[in-house]
Amino acid sequence: MDDRVLVGSTAPLARAESAPSHVWRLDDGGRQTLVIGALRDRLPQVVYWGAPLPRDEDLSVIFEGAQIDITGGMLDENPDLSLCPEAVRTFPGQPGLICRAQDGTPLLPKFCFESAEKEAGLTLRYRDEAAGLRLIFRFGVDAQTRIITAQTVLEADAPVHLHWLAAPVMPGPQAADEMIDVSGRWCGEFQMNRTAWSPGMRYRENRTGRTGHEHFPGLMIPARGCTNTQGEAWGFHYGWSGGHKMIAEELPDGRRQIQFGHAARMEHEAATRFETAPLYLTYSATGLNGCAVSFQRHLRDRIVTWPKSPTERPVHYNCWEAVYFDHSLPVLKDIASRAAAIGAERFVLDDGWFGQRDDDTRALSDWEVDPRKYPDGLDPLISHVHSLGMTFGIWFEPEMINPDSDIHRLHPEWALGSEDQTLGRNQKAMNMARADVRDFIFERMAAILGNHEIDYIKWDHNRVLPMPDAAQTRGSYALIDRLRAAFPDVEIESCASGGGRIDFGILSRTQRVWLSDSNDALERLRMQHDAALFLPMAITGSHVGPRQCHTSGRTLDISFRAWVAAQRHMGFEMDPRELDDREEAVLTEVTAWWKRNRGWMAEADILRLDSSDPAVIAEQQMPREGDRFVVFAGKSRTSAQISPRPLRLAALEPGARYKVWLTNRISAPALSRGHPILKHDPIEVSGAWLMSHGVTLPWSYPETMWVLEGERL
Ligand code: GLA
């Protein structure tokens, strides 16, 4: 080397100054490593989160190697982007904690290291002696699902008011140009938003008091070039049902931070202990699908507690769109018989069976069977349903009360919020923080569940809260926990005008979600595809709706409606009396197909495919063993080009051979005049070909679904 080209000193800097006092690493045994380090006794920072690092990596160097330089216009030392960035340390972005003493004085803590435990994950304790505050960070790693769980706890010697507490703050990857988060609306859940990273922040806050259609608490950060099937991605989910806040901020120096926590100011009382919900994290080098599969598996295998094996998901029939509030025993019996004949295995009696509930203006909270509609109680209907070999489920909206109800007349003080509040669907929320309210609801529900053979509750929540309130969410959780302890065999579906309460917090207490009030198969196809970034098949309810959809007015063929429902936990919601012979035959056949396959599908991964045709929304469901798969290729609209583009499959063994066949090949319309081989015969090909060339499907109409099955030979 020629010394003369060297500019400046090559002498080492005072390394001791920049060397970490502590470094810890978390590994999931093969897919990701997280390195956390701290300078002196200060709060620690995540200095690495990505592909696994070698076991013998020098973590001090990793820590130091992550530190950015200092130049003009900067402080003399860069403020730490720590697990809880501290306002008092000149941090230029949003702090991770905002709290006040009970008298209102702002607290500006500066935490110092206390202890670290490496048992069952990692627990780090920090303390601010003068302020009387302790901050605890907990990390757990699941080597099977590849999910890292992170949580922050704040403890105080004297009660404090909490404004904001972030779960452990993560650095935002620098290799990403954008982030994907999730919004939505009634009948339009799980809409993906891509936002470019830029200086400043993307701030999402859900102040509705429930998880909400509008702000599903999830985030994906794709690295440049990432698709569903390839590239790097980082995934986040905040498991809380009371409304969350997310900050994705790029600091002036270019660093990025991601914060998740409860919506701000939702703790109304001063207290000595607060904790965030768990933040679920995962890194993938196999595209968005790597994150999706981790979330799906973690939710299904770790979060949901199943009374029965998830492989036995029964086919549902739900009577809502058939009868609404108009309950008549002979009609319901007839509907149940017809539903059973098509293949239903669980009959769910929806809204309208209690109080004087003839429409949605009254009777919520009057949880007693309406003797006008059911003079002999529910037993005649339940026995009929059982005689058909179906189990029985029932609808409740436990946290709600109509001003026009006996209970509201008796206990107006049980409603949450002011007397003159704006109603939602003519109703108020009950104050779930009150033990007497919870006792009342528990007793009424227990009376119905205890006196009847009921194995399923559709648990609804049809309005937003008057204001965000963490105590309300904790009260709802406590009620569900108590009911589950008393009725451990009863499954619960989480519904909130469709998908308004879907998150890992509610799903640790429930087993199914009603993804959307839209039974429009076209809209469902898209929603199910995007929701699969987080939700597995086994917990995602999907029903075949009426011929003309009640929420979109669209008329779709039975075959498309049936296959879209068969992608997830299948059910029916139309009035079976409207089905003509062909519709009944198609539905019976698809339902039988679903029953033959639900066992392995309930434990399979959903892989979103990178369709070369934007009109085709496609996914591949495949068990972990990879020995078989089914591909659902839904054509959402007419393609721009005339012929279908080959559809590339994913995650197969390149060297293995697969037999692949088109399950519903007889559906090819007459306008498909050619002879693509799959239209006539199964093919035997390598995984390499299926992934690099892809299958050529026959021409088809828009609003149809090709179903392709395969097995490894
Ligand atoms: C909500 C649900 C529907 C149905 C009605 C009953 O809107 O999302 O599926 O249960 O309530 O009132």
Residue-wise pLDDT tens digits, 195-214: 999 999 999 999 999 999 99
Does ligand 1 have an atom closer than 6 angstroms to the CB of 320?
yes
Strands (E), 335-465: 346-349, 391-396, 400-401, 428-429, 456-459
Does ligand 1 have an atom closer than 6 angstroms to the CB of 517?
yes
Q: How far apart are CA 482 and CA 492, in angstroms?
A: 13
For the chain, the first-to-last Cα distance in angstroms comes to 58
The residue type at 659: K
* pLDDT exceeds 60 at position 11: no
Give the ligand 1 atom nearest the CA of 497: 8
Strands (E), 377-459: 391-396, 400-401, 428-429, 456-459
Q: For residue 656, what are its two tokens?
A: 């293995």
Sequence-distant (≥ 6) Cβ neighbours of residue 571 within 8 angstroms:
315, 316, 317, 318, 344, 346, 541, 542, 543, 544, 565
Q: Please count the other Cβ atoms lying within 10 Å of the Cβ belonging to residue 25.
A: 17
* pLDDT exceeds 90 at position 71: yes
Catalytic residue numbers?
460, 517
What's the pLDDT score for residue 9? 35
Q: How far apart are CA 589 and CA 70, in angstroms?
A: 68
Q: For residue 284, what are its two tokens?
A: 């993938």
**Ligand 1 centroid to 460 CA: how many Å?**
7
Does ligand 1 have an atom closer than 6 angstroms to the CB of 460?
yes
- For atom 8 of ligand 1, which residue has the closest CA? 497
Note the pLDDT tens digit of each residue in 566-584.
999 999 999 999 999 999 9
Does ligand 1 have an atom closer than 6 angstroms to the CB of 497?
yes
**Ligand 1 centroid to 551 CA: how many Å?**
12
Q: How far apart are CA 144 and CA 695, in angstroms?
A: 31
Q: How far apart are CA 233 and CA 282, in angstroms?
A: 8
For the chain, the 3-state helix, strand and coil shares in percent, each to the nearest 5, are: 25, 30, 45
- For atom 7 of ligand 1, which residue has the closest CA? 497
Nearest one of 525, 621, 615, 517 to 565, comparing CA atoms: 525
Give the ligand 1 atom nearest the CA of 496: 8
- For atom 3 of ligand 1, which residue has the closest CA? 497
Three-state SS sequence of 520-560: CHHHHHHHHHHHCCCCCHHHEEEEECCCECCCCCCECCHHH
Burial of 681 (0-12, 13-18, 19+ CB in 10 A): exposed
Does ligand 1 have an atom closer than 6 angstroms to the CB of 350?
yes
Q: Residue 7's pLDDT band (boundaries 50, 70, 90)? A: very low
What's the pLDDT score for residue 15? 59
Note the pLDDT tens digit of each residue in 38-64.
999 999 999 999 999 999 999 999 999
* pLDDT exceeds 60 at position 245: yes
What's the pLDDT score for residue 119? 86
Does ligand 1 have an atom closer than 6 angstroms to the CB of 260?
no
The residue type at 333: K
- For atom 12 of ligand 1, which residue has the closest CA? 351
Q: What does DSSP assign to residue 1?
A: -
